[in-house]
Amino acid sequence: MDVKLISILAAALAVSIGSIGPALAEGRSVAAAMDAIARQPEAAGTISRTLFVGLAMIETMAIYCLVIALLLLFANPYAG
Amino acid sequence: MAPSPLASAILFRLGPLAITRPVVTTWAIMAVLTVVSWLVTRRLRLHPDRRQTVLELIVTGIMAQIDEVIRKNPRPFLPLLGTLFIFLVAANLSGVLPGVEAPTGKLETPAALALIVFVAVHYFGVRARGPFGYLASFAQPKLIMLPLNIVSEVTRTFSLMVRLFGNVMSGEFVIALVVALAGLFVPIPLMALEILVGLVQAYIFTVLATVFIGAAVDTFEAE
């Protein structure tokens, strides 16, 4: 197989496998935050701010995968 | 093949410098923000009219957010973080205007903003603790954490840049793909989502910058 084909496959694999973990993690954290807000509605402001920051941290993993995919597709050092 | 999202179009050259499209868009946003800020702060009164009430609402809102995170007088941090937030909102939403690409969707603008945050964190840290106190804070809680703390300084700046770039760029990319596949009016819901993403990303970038600065100026642990 040539480098281009492998790069496209690797980009698709990077995004598809790399988004599984962050998706599960974001689901869990949102569920936990909903639970906390339902128990303690007066703390909703603090909880949602912390939730947003946490989601941003979790999402970073997925975005790293996206960047790897973009590098493979558009800035591949081996494609020549 | 689609144009690479990692490269940006060169509009003209200024000597050896290539002036790209995001730079010109950023200049336009800066000019608009400067003129609007000058106009709304021109005649401030003790009894605010409608314009000044909105202005005070925005400024006190940002100050309250900073205060909640840093738990110190938010006044020294307001110029940087407030400007950062307002610029990011304007830059992220500028992609909605026809013919304009959001400058944050290219790699250079988020890189520059993340670099500003990186420098500001150390500036505020040194100013709050003194140079040696700030350097010593890298060896907290134990000396063995020193390499990890230094690495985390770099990686969190990098992730700040990549997060903003990835979100805005991928939104524009998806809209471009849907336009190419489905036609003119189909991507409108996606564009509405993109407005939400732009606002949330501006908020997250500012909150993370606030958290980093707050951690740098936090003198409570050091004692």
- pLDDT over threshold 90, residue B101: no
The H or E element that residue B121 is part of is helix B108-129
- Are residues B170 and A74, on separate chains, in Cβ contact within 8 Å? no
Average pLDDT over residues B73-78: 88
Separation of alpha carbons A11 and B159, rounded Å: 20
The residues, any chain, with a CB within 8 Å of residue A43's CB and separated by 6 or more, are: A36, A37
Tell me which chain A residues have a C-beta less than 8 angstroms from the C-beta of B207: 49, 52-53
Pick the residue from chain A with its C-alpha nearest to B206. Answer: A53
Return the pLDDT at B42: 84
CB-CB neighbors (< 8 A) of B214 in chain A: none
Q: Do A60 and B162 touch (CB under 8 A)?
A: yes
| A70 with B6: Cβ contact below 8 A | yes
Q: What six digits make up the tokens of B132?
A: 């040696």
B191 touches chain A (CB under 8 A): no
ipTM of this complex > 0.90?
no
- Name every residue whose Cβ is closer than 8 Å to that of residue B110 and which is 6 or more positions away in sequence: B104, B160, B161, B162, B164, B165
pLDDT, tens only, A10-35: 999 999 999 999 999 999 999 999 99
At how many degrees (to 10) do helices B21-40 and B50-70 cross? Answer: 110
Q: Which residues of B touch A74 (CB under 8 A)?
A: 4-7
Distance CA A35, CA A28 (A): 11
Phi, psi of B100 (to 5 degrees): -110, 135
Task: Report pTM.
Answer: 0.85
Residue A70: partners with Cβ closer than 8 Å, 6 or more residues away: A11, B5, B6
The span from the CA of B43 to the CA of B66, in Å, is 26
Q: Which of A49-53, B1-5, B115-119, B202-206 has the lowest mean pLDDT?
A: B1-5
Please give the share of chain A, as a percent, with pLDDT higher than 90: 42
Residue of chain A nearest B211, judged by CA positions: A53
Tens of pLDDT, residue by residue over B17-75, are 888 888 899 999 999 999 999 988 887 888 878 888 888 999 999 999 898 888 888 88
Residue B200 with chain A: CB contacts under 8 Å: 52
Nearest Cβ partner for A53 among B4, B159, B204: B204
